[in-house]
Amino acid sequence: MQDRSPQLSMELNRLLLLTSFLLHVEEGHASPVRLVCDSRLIHKYIGEAKDMEKTVGQCQALPALGCPAVLPLVNFSLQQWKCKSSESKRREILCDLALLVGAAAGAQGQVTQECGARQLGQLYEHANSFLLLLQTFGWEAGPWEPGCSPHSVEQTHVTSIFLTYRKLVQGKLSFFFHNLAKDSCKPGQGGGREPHCGAR
């Protein structure tokens, strides 16, 4: 019985982390940051994104999407990224995630093959969880406006959705969590050195 459910235990694990994250959120405004201090969390999400991308790549011939998925362009310049405020980084990632959630939902309606549909369902859940989590990290009072991602591209390959998600988690999200940890996990060490934003 034990070897039947590696996937189930991975899901339970993820659920526990998410529940614990959301429980911390309830306690107060700064609380979610405590979870960011455990770098294993983001590494776990990166690992899961890679696994989903690998698994969907092994699904039997997935059909092209009749209605293309609109995906965010998630490549970014590290130098420019460093110069943005935490709030504008958060909003940019939220915009990217909103597009990804929409793309996964749209593709789910078009992919009937079990392997691809299952992976799309997982990606939708993961991206949506991040969307909800990041909405708790507001530094400005104003509401977040959806549909604000300036750069997007249409893709008909299901695998592109997974590639985009993995790049987002491994890139912007990972750096965002890393910066939060740097600022929040070492008391008295916030606002040390600033990157040379204006130089060049």
Mind giving me the DSSP string for 89-158? HHHHHHHHHHHHHHHHHHHHTT--SHHHHHHHHHHHHHHHHHHHHHTT--SSSSPPPSS--S-EEEE--H
Q: Which residue has the tokens 């995906």?
A: 71
The pLDDT assigned to 105 comes to 94
Residue 148: phi and psi, rounded to 5, are -110, 10
The pLDDT assigned to 193 comes to 41
The pLDDT assigned to 35 comes to 58
The pLDDT assigned to 11 comes to 59
Residue 48's contacts (CB-CB under 8 Å, 6 or more residues apart) are 10, 14, 126
> Each residue's pLDDT tens digit in the chain (200 positions)?
445 565 666 555 555 555 555 544 444 333 455 557 777 778 888 999 999 999 999 998 788 999 999 999 999 898 888 898 888 888 899 999 999 999 999 999 899 888 999 999 999 999 998 888 888 766 554 554 544 656 889 999 999 999 999 999 999 998 888 887 777 676 543 433 444 455 43
The pLDDT assigned to 56 comes to 93
The whole-model pTM stands at 0.75
SS3 191: coil
What CA–CA distance (Å, rounded) separates 132 from 96? 13
The pLDDT assigned to 155 comes to 93
DSSP 8-state secondary structure symbol assigned to residue 71? E
The pLDDT assigned to 195 comes to 45
Tokens of 7: 């996937």
If you classify domain 2-184 with CATH, what class do you get?
mainly alpha
